[in-house]
Amino acid sequence: MAMYDQGYPYSITGKAGETVYLCQCGKSTNPPYCSGAHSGTGIEPLAHTPEEDGSVYVCGCGKSGNIPFCDGSHNK
């Protein structure tokens, strides 16, 4: 899976029960969200529906062992 190598995570704020689609192909024009650029790649976005309001960190370096979420690997 391709990711964006920005060296730090994206912070996204979500509302409980509202689904967002996270890019998994690395081609989005609006990372970390899906822009539909994956069309024809065979890679689909990840649907993320938070259980509570708040922020999560999405990997921006491609090194996380918990893709698409940041696990701090960019610090290593």
Query: For the chain, which residues make up each domain, given as ranges?
Result: 1-76
What was the pLDDT predicted at 2? 47
Among residues 32, 30, 20, the alpha carbon closest in space to that of 61 is found at 32
What is the average pLDDT score of the chain?
A: 89
User: Is 90 exceeded by the pLDDT of residue 51?
Assistant: yes
| Cα–Cα distance list, 75 to 11, 28, 56, 61 (Å) | 16, 24, 17, 10
- Give tens-digit pLDDT for 15-50: 999 999 998 888 899 999 999 999 999 999 999 999
What was the pLDDT predicted at 1? 43
Contact 26, 1 (CB under 8 A): yes
